[in-house]
Amino acid sequence: MAITPHPARTLRQAASNRYDLVVLANRLPVDHDTDADGRPCWRRSPGGLVTALHPIMKSRAGAWIGWHGRPGPAPTPFVHDGIHLHPIALTGDDVDGYYEGQSNATIWPLYHDAVEQPVFDRAWQDGYRKVNRRFAEAAARVAAPGALVWVHDYHLQLVPGMLRELRPDLRIGFFLHIPFPPVELFCQLPMREEILRGLLGADLVGFQHPSATRNFHSLAEHLLDAKVTDGKIWHEGREVVADTFPISIDVADQQRLALDPAVRARAAQIRRELGDPRTVILAVDRLDYTKGIERRLSAYEELLAEGRLDPAETVMVQVAVPTRQRIDQYQALRERVERAVSRINGDHSGIGRLCVHYLHRSYDRAELAALYLAADVMAVTPLRDGMNLVAKEYVATRTDHTGALVLSEFAGAAAELEEAWLVNPHDLDGLKDAVTDAVDADAEEQRRRMEPMRAYLRRHDVNRWATGFMGRLDGLAEDWSAAAAA
């Protein structure tokens, strides 16, 4: 579906400061930065969500509501790169309770199979309610009559319900970027019914994977006695559609980077700097316990110890982006990962020859693309992941159909990238076998797997995801207007 601008609406919006399209996400799509003269400025964030929504937001002159990233008062609304930004203020207590507490120490682990024990804290729940209400009230203020509002992710699950109470005229969509757990797990949540009712305030609820959609349907039946038919949930006299919309990446832009001579030269340089090994195994993750970093390192360590990988010929590069560093579980994970890296290097490296290069920092997209190009094997082995865009970025980068992707069955991406070496990361022996198979794969085998994955991605890029979701929400809005007019 093509996205067409709405010039008449745009003019009306500018005059009234009310918008026909409003996006809500925990973070605004910009970060604090300084310009060449050292003055503070805003820079567009590198995230995939911004890339996905930018064309739609610009063509429809939409507004984006989110936190600007620092505790304290919110800057006044401003326009950046054609998008109207409405910052939400969070106090230090809000950051503790709503963001680091309820969102990232309760909901995040629970929705990821409780791979770490979720922490339940009543004060955090109040903080979560309070901040969700602040977002809902901000959306109610800026949305034009009958506007489309798209709410994103686990931080804001109460917003659809709150917003519907404030503004029943709006069409509300919600998309969850992380997994949605099975009924038994979800039911551990003290706020379970409140959250479910919050989500059901939307007209359209989108998930990354069919299993998440199924879990949501079952939960609505189980917890609220809702009636579910053909993907539609009938609840309290309203119809809510829940469906699967797997997110993707800007494939054309990733390919453009991969073909850039400077990026290709950098990839060659990286291999030289690594000592021109026969095999480079790469992993790129946020330093998060859901990403399976420790098990991956254990698999590599055992393969070296057993002589199935030769330390003189193999290098692993683990890029681990710092994240949520104030939360205890993340600090503990970092210590464990760094101990494992030191142990592997202590036991198996030589002078001037490291077995694991551990890079605890963020990189720009060109450097990441160069790393993807330099890697013979990409190991993406989360214990649970909504989608995992790194897997898709690697495939999109391999324009010559070389390279091997080892991919966890528990990443949403496994439902689409079926030709990868799919593994259960909890099964260490299976993981080791998959890594050695991928290391040993010849060019023909690599191409046999890479070609269909690349063809699939070209057809399913991030624009298709964004327009698919918006088109569906637009369609529901049209059905609704027609019914109201009849």
Q: Which of 292, 386 has the CB closer to ligand ADQ?
A: 386
Closer CB to ligand ADQ, 102 or 381, in the complex: 381
Neighbour count for residue 16 (Cβ, 10 Å) = 10
Any idea which residue has 């969700």 for tokens? 132
Rounded least distance, CB 4 to ligand ADQ, Å: 26
Q: Whose Cβ is closer to ligand ADQ: residue 112's or residue 235's?
A: 112
3 state SS of 170 = coil
The CB-of-289 to ligand ADQ minimum distance in angstroms stands at 11
Residues in contact with ligand ADQ by CB under 6 A are 48, 177-178, 247, 284, 286, 319, 321, 362-363, 368, 385-390, 393
Min CB(484)–ligand ADQ separation in Å:
33
> Least distance in Å: CB of 83 to ligand ADQ?
19
The DSSP result for 172-203, as a single string, is EEEE-SS----HHHHTT-TTHHHHHHHHTTSS
Torsion of CA 191, 193, 194, 196, to 10 degrees: 110
Nearest approach, Cβ of residue 391 and ligand ADQ (Å): 8
CB 342 within 8 A of CB 301: no
For CA atoms 328, 331, 337, 343, the dihedral sign is: negative
Which residues have a Cβ under 8 Å from the Cβ of 125 and sit 6 or more positions away?
102, 190, 191
In the complex with ligand ADQ, the residue whose CB is nearer, 356 or 390, is: 390
- The two tokens of residue 411 are 């990443």
Cβ closest to ligand ADQ, residue 319 vs residue 477: 319
Are 384 and 115 within 8 A, CB to CB?
A: yes
Q: H or E stretch including 157?
A: none
- The nearer residue to ligand ADQ, 293 or 473, going by C-beta atoms, is 293
Task: Select 172 or 368, whichever has its Cβ closest to ligand ADQ.
Answer: 368
The whole-angstrom separation of Cα 155 and Cα 128 is 8
Question: In the numeric block, which tokens belong to residue 101?
Answer: 């507490």
Instruction: Name the percent of the chain in helix, strand, coil, to the closest 5.
Output: 50, 20, 30
CB of 84 to ligand ADQ, least distance (A): 23
User: What single string gives the DSSP state of each residue in 379-394?
Assistant: EE--SSBS--HHHHHH
Q: Is 411 helix (H, G, I), strand (E, B) or coil?
A: strand
Between CA 193 and CA 199, with CA 198 as vertex, the angle to 5 degrees is 105
Q: How far is the CB of 175 from ligand ADQ (least distance, A)?
A: 8
Residue 478 burial (CB < 10 Å; 0-12/13-18/19+)? exposed
Please state whether beta strands 238-244 and 356-359 pair in parallel, antiparallel, or not at all (unpaired). unpaired
Tell me the catalytic residues.
177, 385
* Closest CB 141 distance from ligand ADQ, rounded Å: 27
Classify 149 as helix, strand or coil. strand
Nearer to ligand ADQ, 178 or 417 (CB): 178
